[in-house]
A and B are shown apart, each in its own frame.
Chain A
Amino acid sequence: MGIKQPQQKIYWVSGKGGVGKSTVAAAQALAFARKGHRTLLVELGEKSFYRRVFDRDIDHQPTQVGDDFFISRWDGEDCLKEYLLHLFRVEKIVNLFFENKVTKSLLQAAPGLKELSILGKITSGVRGVGPTLNFDRIVVDAYSTGHFQALIKAPPAMAEAIPFGPMGEQSHSIIGVLKDPRISRYAVVTIPEELPVTEGLELAAFLRAQDLPAPRFILNRHLDLPFGLEDLQPLRQNDFVVYLETLLRRQNEFESRLKSAASPLETLKYSWKPSAIGRIQDLAEAIQVEEGT
């Protein structure tokens, strides 16, 4: 029986592919864990990214990787199976359903079904449905922009296609959780470059259009240079300096563009650590950790 988790908060992390979303999401989760929150970092899809980072097998059931820090990898099929088991309670029926060729095809192609199952699982603690999800904080390394939008659109689309039955009801309760600012927080990760910034801003507009809480913007890979463009100017004969100038100019441009559209803007300093784990630890120290409700 599901046990409702009233204090649970869900952090959704998205952004254009290549901006360091997974690293930032892990850093956020680690930061929460360090503050004593029992935290679950969730990655989506069939292949694990964090497996290589933490050198552990990452699967459906939470794997502990640190104090108060757990990671799970959830995909549509596993989540749906778990949900149906919860609904029907008889394992035999559910297995028969899943071992069926027809079901497999349906699951792969059926619009929104996988997305809905994943969202259902992520929000199950808050809604008190399914196996207990005993965590204070859930941080979701969600898909990059396009697929993330498809994920968010699945419940309303499903509610329209199938308004009746448990599926329809679940869709509505999931939407409720996504919209509740006390529970769901959104973060758009970007870097000081054209496409990531544009897509990030478009993503924020999309969230607004879906009536979801406004996201916070995280400008990742920010070069905190102890000098400015004026200092570099006289040194231009050096090719590295020219490169630094280009980077700095570009960074300044996008930083101000973001600040005018998304205030306050959180910046995360570029980490030079050679390992992903090292970078996650660096970012965990700098990233904002909200307290209270």
Chain B
Amino acid sequence: MTGAFPDELKVIVCAGTGGVGKTTVSAALGAWLAQEGKKTLVLTIDPAKRLAQAMGIQTGADADVQIADPRMGGRLYATMLNPHSVFDRFVHRMSPNKTVAQKLLSNHLYQQLVTNLTGSQEFTSLEKLLSAVEDGGYDIVILDTPPTQNAVDFLRAPQRIFALFQDSVTKWFVPGSKKGLIAQIVQRGTKTVLGVLERVTGSQFIHELSDFFEQMSYLQGRVKERSQRVHDMLTSEKTAFVIVTSFDELKLQEAMEFQQDLKNEGYRLHGVVVNRCFPEWSGFENDPSAGEDLRREIQEIHENFKRQYVLRFELSQKMQNTLGRDIPVARIPEMTASPQGLDDLLRLSAKLKEQWKNSDPADGGPS
């Protein structure tokens, strides 16, 4: 394979803030790897309708869809994540028996939790990723991370939900936990917490909450083990992170901060994609066919674009220098329309391949 992706790789996580083209890049990576002979799954949260159509995936459908195009040789698969079904399957899998599972699934609070956006998209994408990696039979799985304001949120969100399953939390609500002095202190604390909650929410909520946590406590052991596996998967040498950003000052700065965060947390960055770059066009000074006014107007706009280009190119260079020679930065040119079909994706993956092969900090730059 290419320098960017070693053969042993099992997972690629495409991360970055919203609005940079993560989904498209994830799909293009999938097309590339499938062409290289790998049985590939692309997990996406929210593809554009046309892209979804091109890939044959629909909302609500839960199965991995095989992309029929012969160029993919039957090796490319795609799934649109469905938080509801991922959660439900998770509960069934983690519950010691059907009764516990049913009680939890029918709990009002649980249902709210599943439909709530905050944290559930992040949780379900990692949960589905783990399932696909362990049981799916794929050579490689690519995750298109959900759109977040802040790219690090994605990595932290699941811990918060897993935290709910910890002893310190569940034991509070499970009736009958008594252990002498410690229990006394805990009880006093519990009274305050529950007292506040009851005052603010009414006792019906407290009942729901107690019931919710009681059921959750039965899942505790397995969830703990599973969350450890998710963490191990993300920090494994077989997992590559790819930061997707765009040709924009703020996005580039965000990407630079994010790569530092990834480094700090022990995740492995394999490459950066700077999407939607515009080129440095040839000048427009001496075209005789344009009238003087028109020539001047176009020239002015050209100057404006050029100034932006220089600023952004320099930022992307700075990023490449920070990352060093081992981590390639691919600059992908803007396409005329948003990628819609497999043809567009293949064109995009060809560009990625070319860029990652040639990526060299000493190369290029404005004249």
Interface residues of A (CB under 8 A from B): 16-19, 45-47, 52, 84, 87-88, 93-94, 96-97, 100-106, 108-112, 114-115, 143-144, 146-147, 149-150, 157, 161-168, 193-195, 198, 225-227, 231, 234-235, 238-241, 243-244, 246, 250, 272, 274, 276
- B177 partner residues in chain A, CB cutoff 8 A: none
Is the beta-carbon distance between B281 and A194 smaller than 8 angstroms? no
Size of the B side of the interface (Cβ < 8 Å), in residues, is 66
Chain B residues whose C-beta falls within 8 Å of the C-beta of A276 in the assembled complex: 249-250
Q: A105 near B298 (CB under 8 angstroms)?
A: no
B contact residues around A103 at 8 Å (CB) = 193
Q: Are A100 and B337 in contact (CB under 8 A)?
A: no
Q: A97-B196, A111-B113, A240-B282 are in contact. List 16 more A-B contacts (CB 8 A).
A: A16-B19, A18-B251, A97-B192, A101-B168, A103-B193, A105-B160, A111-B116, A149-B117, A161-B108, A168-B202, A198-B49, A226-B297, A227-B297, A238-B281, A240-B298, A240-B305
Residue of A nearest to B339 (CB): A194
Q: For residue B14, give the distance in angstroms from its CB to the closest CB of chain A.
A: 15
B225-266 interface bits toward A, Cβ cutoff 8 Å, 1 = contact, 0 = none: 000000000000000000000101111010000000000000
Contact B193 A244 (CB under 8 A): no
What per-residue 1/0 map shows which CB atoms of B15-34 lie under 8 Å from chain A? 00111100000000000000
Q: Are A45 and B150 in contact (CB under 8 A)?
A: yes
Return the contact of A108 from the options B160, B205, B304, B305 (Cβ within 8 A): B160
Indicate if the CB atoms of A194 and B48 lie closer than 8 Å: yes
A238 touching B202, Cβ below 8 Å:
no
| Beta-carbon contacts under 8 Å, B109-135 to A | 109, 112-113, 115-119
B305 CB contacts on chain A under 8 angstroms:
240
By a CB distance below 8 angstroms, the chain B residues around A157 are: 112, 115-116
Known: A105-B166, A147-B149, A194-B338. A161 touches B109 (CB 8 A): yes
Q: A102-B172, A168-B202, A241-B284 are in contact. Are A144 and B336 (CB under 8 A)?
A: no
Dominant SS among interface residues on chain B: helix
Which of A52, A94, A111 contacts B112 (CB under 8 A)? A111
A231 and B200 alpha carbons, distance in the complex (Å):
66
Give the complex CA separation of A116 and B115 in angstroms.
Answer: 15
Dominant secondary structure at the A interface: helix
Task: Indicate if the CB atoms of A100 and B147 lie closer than 8 Å.
Answer: no
Which residues of chain B have C-beta atoms less than 8 A from A240's C-beta? 281-282, 284, 298, 302, 305
Contact of A112 among B48, B116, B290 (CB under 8 A): B116
Tell me, in angstroms, the Cα distance from A96 to B108 when the chains sit together. 28
Taking the complex as formed, is B181 at the interface, i.e. its CB lies under 8 A from any CB of chain A?
no
